[in-house]
Amino acid sequence: MRSLFIYTICIFCSVSPLKSIAQNVKRPNILVIFSDDHTNQSISAYGSKLMQTPNIDRIANQGALFTRTFVTNSLCAPSRAVLLTGKYSHVNGLMDNGPRRNFDGSQVQVQKLLSKANYQTAWIGKWHLVSLPVGFDYWKILPDQGNYFQPDFIEMSKDTVKHKGYVTNLISDFSLDWINKRDTSKPFFLVVGEKATHRNWMPAVEDLGAYDEQQFPMPENFFDTYEGRTAAHEQDMTVNKTMLIGDDLKINVNFDKPGMFGRLSADEKIAYKNYYAKIGMEYEKVKSDSIALIKWKYQRYLKDYLATAKSLDRNIGRILDYLEKSGLADNTVVMYASDQGFYMGEHGWFDKRFMYEESLKTPFVIKYPHHIKPGTVVKDLVVNIDFAPTFLDIAGVPVPVEIQGKSFLPLMTQPNKVIPWRSGMYYHYYEYPQPHKVPPHFGIRTLRYKLIRFYGPRNEWELFDLKKDPTEMHNLIHDQAQTNTIAVLKKQLVVLIKEYKDKDALEILKND
Ligand code: CA
């Protein structure tokens, strides 16, 4: 009787409500978990032996693992702007984490396009763009980098409210709460913006010391002398010299001083003081021996970083569990990516920025039940400009021509089909000199080669053969045997620069 009633109403409608409801049922929810400085070398799905990440692996096992996902500009704020716009930094206007970080929210963004297509949209957690979110139905964001303990969140009312707890747990709490209270008549698009695993790597109290029993092998190129690579030689991001014994490794710090440590609750402070007092005794034993100290710093860096990642992975598990228990999992795309990769001691470094593999890459796994076959591996060159158009493609929304990325939906849903795809990706980094003295550079990465042009304080090229030299130790730019390869790559680079309309890069090459 009820269906007959609906039918009777609908025959008078110009657009059938039944049809539009049916479309909504088919269109999946899109849940994006977007972390910070979390890198492939620390994820077991990518073969890491440093720690187990069972919940990130769970997404990969139920869906697809992308092995060659790259960012356009390896920094926090620029990567978030790329996620929102599907455009390079020189087009979306957000170039660095410094003075050029004020995002123009009036431009076309993925959430606005999804919203027009009847998606309910939200961003919860780290945002890191100076201007407030525009075009989301709901947002609740950390101011700037945010804090690990008792963090402030900016509400839509623009009030800043301090919350009790650990940031990764709180971001999950707020995200699940929003999903639970959302308008269930519409599909949703939610970005869970994680603070973890950003410097200064403060683990949840329950994870303090989680990896203390492990000794981590140092990367073979930890003691890199940077021969033939001037920019790498001049950076300021080494575990040895740049990493701070106090703020980073938490030795001999005043846990009562205002700021990130002062935010610990009374109980948390006791746990932190006790734990790092013990670690401080280790430091006393090694501090006078420079080599022993470097090796100890490396171990401590990894122990704090991985313990911070442990909470991140556990919280991803909470989100996945919730989707399963609530019956949403079957119709929800879940993706996990970071804003870029990070150095786990390779070249002696922490941090990111360089176009070298560890920071050019980002982890990226995604599941889309009934569309991606579990255990799919995609090796194509995917770039973070492709995320936004892929979300639109999944939602059945046409991708505006101004978006520079390309939907990779066919790569993961039809992995055995030959699909025309890019043979090289373009990169451009700007922030200099502070905070880590990495000169600006742009370049191209193909399946086999990487050609980089540094500029500003350095006018130099670098060429790497990733097949023969995967850790990028040998700059082949002056190798006569590479003349043809260099000429071909330079041509390909110019094609990409023109395609992406990077006038500044083109100008630099004109003067070469
Ligand atoms: Ca970052």
With a cut of 50, say whether residue 17 has pLDDT above it.
Answer: no
**Ligand 1: centre distance to CA 128 (Å):** 10
CA distances, 284 to each of 80, 245, 276, 281, 300 (Å): 41, 12, 12, 5, 14
Cβ 301 vs Cβ 350: under 8 Å = yes
**Ligand 1: centre distance to CA 185 (Å):** 35
363 closest CA partner among 29, 53, 5:
53
* Mean pLDDT of the residues in the chain: 95
Instruction: Tell me which CATH code domain 7-202+301-423 carries.
Output: 3.40.720.10
**Ligand 1: centre distance to CA 183 (Å):** 32
- Confidence band of 12 (pLDDT split at 50, 70, 90): very low
Tokens of 202: 């403060």
**Ligand 1: centre distance to CA 306 (Å):** 16
**Ligand 1: centre distance to CA 343 (Å):** 12
pLDDT of residue 26: 78
Distance (Å, whole) CA 43 – CA 245: 26
Q: What is the pLDDT of residues 425-476, one digit of tens each?
A: 999 999 999 999 999 999 999 999 999 999 999 999 999 999 999 999 999 9
**Ligand 1: centre distance to CA 340 (Å):** 6
138 closest CA partner among 194, 188, 80:
188
Cβ 364 vs Cβ 355: under 8 Å = no
pLDDT of residue 100: 82
DSSP class of 120: E
Number of Cβ within 10 Å of residue 402's Cβ equals 11
Q: Count of H helices and E strands in the chain?
A: 15, 16
125 closest CA partner among 173, 53, 179, 181:
173
**Ligand 1: centre distance to CA 44 (Å):** 20
3-state secondary structure of 166: strand
CATH of 428-510, one of 3.40.640.10, 3.30.1120.10, 3.90.930.12, 3.10.590.10: 3.30.1120.10
Distance (Å, whole) CA 399 – CA 406: 9
Where exactly are the structural domains of the chain?
7-202+301-423, 428-510
With a cut of 50, say whether residue 3 has pLDDT above it.
Answer: no
387 closest CA partner among 86, 103, 114:
86
**Ligand 1: centre distance to CA 193 (Å):** 11
**Ligand 1: centre distance to CA 371 (Å):** 30
The one-letter amino acid at 373: K
Q: What is the pLDDT of residues 317-332, one digit of tens each?
A: 999 999 999 999 999 9
With a cut of 50, say whether residue 1 has pLDDT above it.
Answer: no
**Ligand 1: centre distance to CA 198 (Å):** 6
Number of Cβ within 10 Å of residue 284's Cβ equals 10
Q: What is the length of the chain? A: 512
**Ligand 1: centre distance to CA 327 (Å):** 32
**Ligand 1: centre distance to CA 438 (Å):** 15
Distance (Å, whole) CA 120 – CA 439: 41
**Ligand 1: centre distance to CA 94 (Å):** 14
Largest CA distance in the chain: 86
pLDDT of residue 25: 52
Q: Check whether the bond before 200 is cis (ω within 30° of 0).
A: yes
pLDDT of residue 101: 83
For residue 60, with 0-12 CB atoms within 10 Å meaning exposed, 13-18 middle and 19 or more buried, which class applies? buried
Mean pLDDT, range 22-36, rounded to an integer: 83
Whether the full predicted model's pTM is greater than 0.85, yes or no, is yes
**Ligand 1: centre distance to CA 378 (Å):** 23
pLDDT of residue 22: 44
219 closest CA partner among 294, 310, 279, 288:
294
Query: Which range, of 3-7, 49-53, 297-301, 502-506, averages the lowest pLDDT?
Result: 3-7
